Every structure is written in C-alpha cells, then in structure tokens.
Amino acid sequence: MDVKTIDTIFQLGKFALLTPKSRSEKTPSLGRKIYAFILMVFLTVGALVNIVCKIPHYQTLGLMQMVLRVLSDFSLLLSTVFALVMVKTTTRGWYHLIRNLSQVCGSGTSRKTAFVAWFVSETLILICMQVAFMRKAAFRFIQTHFFQILQIFFIFFRAVTGITVLHMVKQCYHSQKEIIRKGFEALPSVEHNLLLLKEAVSCFNDIFGWNFFYFIIFGICRTLVLIDDNVKSPKGMITRVVYYNFSLEVLGGLVILVKFWTYALYFIMLADKVVKEFDDIFADFSEIFARTTNNKKYSLLNEIEQCRPKFSAARFYDINKSTVFSIISTVTTFVIIILQFELRVEF
C-alpha cells in the first residue's frame, strides 16, 4: 500500500474533516467532533440560504424543472451533512481499511504526485470560478452559488480519494496473483489475504458508499437540468449566453458535468477491475485444485468464493459495469418524461 499518498490525502483533507488527521486515528477526538458539528451547521445554514435565495427563480420554472434543481441542491447538502454526521464511523473505517491493506501489501505504486496535481488544479479552477462570478455579481454569487461550489469541491475530493484508494485495493489483489504462482504452499496465505481484502472493501463501502450514492444523484440531476435548459430549449441558451454572468454559469455547469462523468465512470470501471482481479485469482485456485486429490478442495473453493469483493453505493445497489447502463437508462427515461410533461403543459 502507498503510505505516502495516504498521508498526503490526510494532510489535505483533515481541515474540512474529509479524512482523519492521521493513519493511527481510530476515533475522532472531542475537539474534532465539536468542529464537525460547527462545520455542519455552517455549511447547512449557508446551503439553505442559497436554496432560499433561489426560490424566486424556482417559482418561474415548471414543476419537473423545479424538482430536478431542488434534488440537485439537496443531494449536495445531504452528502456534506451525512459525511460530517458519520465522521466517527468513517474514521474507524479508514483505520481498518489502511490496516488491512498494509498487512496484505506493504508497498505499491505511488500516486502522491498525481493526487497533489489534481488537488492544486481543482483548487485553482475553484478560485477562478469564484473570482469570475464575484467580479460580475458578488452579492448574487454569494447568495446562490458560493456554498454550492464549495460542496461540489468536497464531493469531488471524496470521489478522487475513493479512486486513489481503489487503485491501492486493485494493486493488493494483483499482488495475490503473483503469490499464487509460487506454488501450492502459498495458498493458505493468499486465502487469509483475500479475507482481509474483503473486510477492506467493506470498510471502503462504509467510507465512500454514501458519497457515491449522492454523487450519482447530483450528477444525474445536473445532467437532466443541462439537457432541459440547453437541448430542449436551445433559444433559451442563446439568450442567456448574451450575458456574461449567465454564460459563466453555463460554462461552469459544463465543466462540472464533464468532471462528474469522468470521475463516475472511472470509479465504476476501477471497481469492476478489482472484481475481475478476484475472478482471475479464483480461476487460478480452481486450476490448482483441479490437479489435486484433496477431499476438502470444494469446501476450500467455497470459502474463497465467499471472499469475493462487492462494492455498493450505500448498500442500495452494486457498483459494477451494469451501473453505467442503469445510469444511462435513468437519464434517458427522465428525458422522455420531461419532454412528455412539457408537451402536456403546452397543450
């Protein structure tokens, strides 16, 4: 496991309670719990003020358009609040996740530079967006967008952190394939490591599952809003782009959506690759046992099969390749519903 990358993530994320403050922290201190409560109140009040300030705009929209925007705003809010409420659970999950990965593979490819580069570029983009909006409409921006962009940064930070950890999990599974090649005597060690990795994946789900759940809700809603605004009603887009501040909103929305789909698809495909690594390991076990006369080989294979990793979004649904098609199906269905709803309103 890449300890340097984990330490870097913790150093960058601990100030906003996005991560524990160190690898050795099992439970958050009283001070961090109080800080979590203060931060939760601050972000919640700010987000609610943003939403309230948008009510006059929401009232000019149709029912379906308003619902999509409200769901988008509240998915961000709930993601932030839930992460702070669950800080004790996630801190404990981080501790067990790192412990198990360290026991399975002591080292791995460093991703510290890539993560720092992402963090710096993302922060610069955030600052540029904040400055650009505030130069044109400072008070209006603070009312309607400041806390939203901050929450988007938080949810993206957790998504990229999840992707980085997934790379480490994948490396650990891949290392087991190398151990199997050493011979039959290495199989008990591999079986024990697979059990540790299964527990690590369970901790991973506790840490990142809810974030991915809200992440997908936010992304789908924002995609549908963009389609509703700029595809179904292209004239509306042309009218808005005439104004500098509105064109920034369109550009900012596009940038956020491109990053969302990039992170989401990468996250899903990486989780699927981890499961594929396990399938390869199981196939190697099956091939080895096929050459033996051990009467317990079928029970051993069954025990190994029980160690299959399973990624889920808040235990609601599994994260695998089929998730991509489910998302596409959901977006397509809602686009059809929006079009039908608007046609009924017009007639």
pLDDT of residue 204: 95
Which H/E stretch holds residue 272?
A: helix 244-290
Overall average pLDDT of the 201-224 stretch: 91
Q: What is the pLDDT of residues 79-97, one digit of tens each?
A: 988 889 889 999 999 999 9
The CA distance from 31 to 37, in Å, is: 10
CA angle, residues 125, 134, 246, in degrees to nearest 5: 85
Which H/E stretch holds residue 318?
A: strand 317-318
Q: How many domains does the chain have?
A: 1
HSE, CB side, 13 Å, CA atoms: give it for residue 257.
15
pLDDT of residue 246: 53
Q: Which of 27-41, 146-160, 227-241, 326-340 is the least confident region?
A: 227-241
Residues of the domain holding 283 = 3-346
pLDDT of residue 95: 94
End-to-end CA distance of the chain: 61
Strand partners, 312: 318
